[in-house]
Chains A and B, each alone.
Chain A
């Protein structure tokens, strides 16, 4: 299969370029901010640690935030790629099946009903909300021992609409002053990047991304439609359930620590497809690296673009990302 070999070399080059872009983005993120850090200082801080201010800023503030951006961006892009294959819908993203609404309800409930000091449990509540709504959509869409993409999307829309109503009710009935924090959280924010949060998130992202990668040939077949996948020998219901739950878990876990960051999970998979094609053994690693680099860079822009404070990173992803990915998609149009 000469195509696989020739494509393999090109694929490795693309992967290396994306990895280099991610490393560059991480370094830029660690070096950028109110306290200037030179490249030498950065290397110094990384290798030797140290107690001077630049080293502490890099190690305890900026690097955790950059790594959080990497994990969140990579997880969103992987999850989005999986949902697009699973639902056979190029417009699918990680939030399409109720994960976002569930997470928002969980986060708002934590903000409204728990004492003010309990913000540490907000991620756990958001994760619980996301997991419950994803599970509800899956169970509602099941019929006759199987789920169809059409029913999943339908149930996702219905559950999402219901959760939106709950969100509006919570916002309008809550005492003033408690909501702005939660609303800002909804816009997406990587400011929660403490070493502890990163450590909590890491196993979810690593495990979820690996599990999706192991499902990649099944996802390839699902792209062809269920009948084709069935004829090729795929146990379609098991693969769909595994991919759905894994992709939802990935999305729910990153939403819990970073809020709702749009665009990455929708568009980055298409950008990665334009570079490496639709085979998921290539697409998933490429999408992870591209999403990670993209979100880290977007966060650098969000932190530095405005002198009056941070912008929501979710706004930056769409604002800065749309032109870039439009270019990529038009250029890669030959493959699509």
Chain B
């Protein structure tokens, strides 16, 4: 199977600080790939480069074999949707108006909403559990609800490739699980190639088919959750001792941080 999105040797610098130092990644249709790595390891930058909003100093992202930056903006947005970490909101806009903006690339500058647009927006609101909040202003809902609205915008936009940058950071357990269920459905039914950057190692092991671990702008490991989530890899990347075992209920890898020796001696 050919990857939907593929990149090799990506290098990106902010000024003279090299944030990506030759990263490669493949995203396959129907598959959820999880991007792990400590703060500052380059996850957001990698998503920025893959989505075309950042231009790499070297390397290139290929979307269906074509350089991602060679696509016209609107066509690109119909094929790839991406969700960033923050949503500044100083102007009144309802949740529904915001989610409907995800259809921009499908509707064009002047065209009205088609039936499909309405159904997609409706479906996205439902999937994100926002149907009852649709009339609320974005500035009047919680950070977690706003994060779900951003995810709903991306779902409404759709596309063959979907990139999520820490989409569950503000979510409670129930909505984290709901997010991963939604993403699993997007991959399973619509065949989307999904990339999720996250800090939630165990939950990602539960839902991710493939894991990429970044450390200091390089790929530290990639493969199945079992292959990547080992005490050695995690200690090398995060500098934290963990125990990795199998969740007896699901069989998925489970990562438990161990208290540091210093703390244990003192107690």
Contact = CB atoms under 8 A, between A and B. Distances in A.
Contact of B87 (A88, A224, A232, A235): A224
B77 A278 contact: no
Contact of B92 (A228, A230, A233, A278): A278
A84 B78 CA distance: 28
Residue in A4, A215, A273 whose Cβ sees the most chain B Cβ within 10 Å: A4
Nearest to B100: A1
Given A214-B110, A228-B84, A273 B92 contact: yes
Contact of A4 (B77, B109, B113): B113
Contacts of B86: 225
A65 B266 CA distance: 84
Nearest to B93: A278
A221 B118 contact: no
B97 A278 contact: yes
Contact of A231 (B77, B94, B113, B134): B77
A214 B118 CA distance: 21
Contacts of B137: 334-336
B73 interface: yes
A231 B102 CA distance: 9
B76 interface: yes
Interface string A83-96: 01100111000000
A1 B96 contact: yes
A310 interface: no
B51 interface: yes
B121 A1 contact: yes
A205 B113 CA distance: 28
A221 B110 contact: no
B102 A232 contact: yes
B104 A90 contact: no
B81 interface: yes
Interface in A211-247: 214-215, 217-218, 220-221, 223-225, 227-228, 230-235
Contacts of B73: 230, 233-235
Contacts of A225: 86-88
Contact of B91 (A90, A217, A231): A90
A279 interface: yes
Contacts of A218: 109
Interface residues of B, number: 45
Contact of A232 (B94, B97, B101): B101
Q: Please tell me the size bucket of the interface on A.
A: 20 to 34
B97 A217 contact: no
A307 interface: no
B91 A233 contact: no
Given A3-B134, A224-B87, A279-B93, A217 B122 contact: no
A3 B88 contact: no
Contact of B94 (A221, A224, A228, A277): A277
Interface string B87-125: 111111110111011101101011001000110011000
Given A231-B51, A335-B92, A224 B101 contact: yes
A335 B51 CA distance: 32
A1 B118 contact: yes
B134 to A, nearest CB: 6
A1 B113 contact: yes
B241 interface: no
A227 B101 contact: no
Interface in A306-336: 334-336
Contact of A223 (B82, B93, B122): B93
Interface string B40-58: 0000000000011100000
B190 interface: no
Contacts of B51: 231
B147 interface: no
B202 interface: no
A217 B104 contact: yes
A170 to B, nearest CB: 38
A231 B118 CA distance: 20
A221 B104 contact: yes
Closest 9 CB pairs of A and B: A233-B77, A233-B105, A335-B92, A1-B118, A3-B96, A233-B74, A278-B91, A235-B73, A231-B82
Interface of B: 51-53, 72-74, 76-78, 81-84, 86-94, 96-98, 100-102, 104-105, 107, 109-110, 113, 117-118, 121-122, 134-135, 137, 139-140, 153, 157
Given A3-B134, A233-B157, 20 more contacts: A1-B117, A3-B96, A4-B113, A85-B91, A88-B90, A90-B90, A220-B93, A223-B93, A224-B87, A230-B52, A231-B53, A231-B77, A231-B84, A231-B157, A232-B77, A232-B104, A233-B74, A274-B92, A278-B92, A336-B137
26 contacts: A1-B117, A4-B100, A89-B90, A214-B109, A215-B109, A217-B104, A217-B107, A220-B101, A221-B104, A223-B91, A223-B93, A224-B88, A225-B86, A228-B87, A231-B51, A231-B81, A233-B74, A233-B77, A233-B105, A234-B104, A235-B72, A274-B92, A279-B93, A336-B92, A336-B137, A336-B139
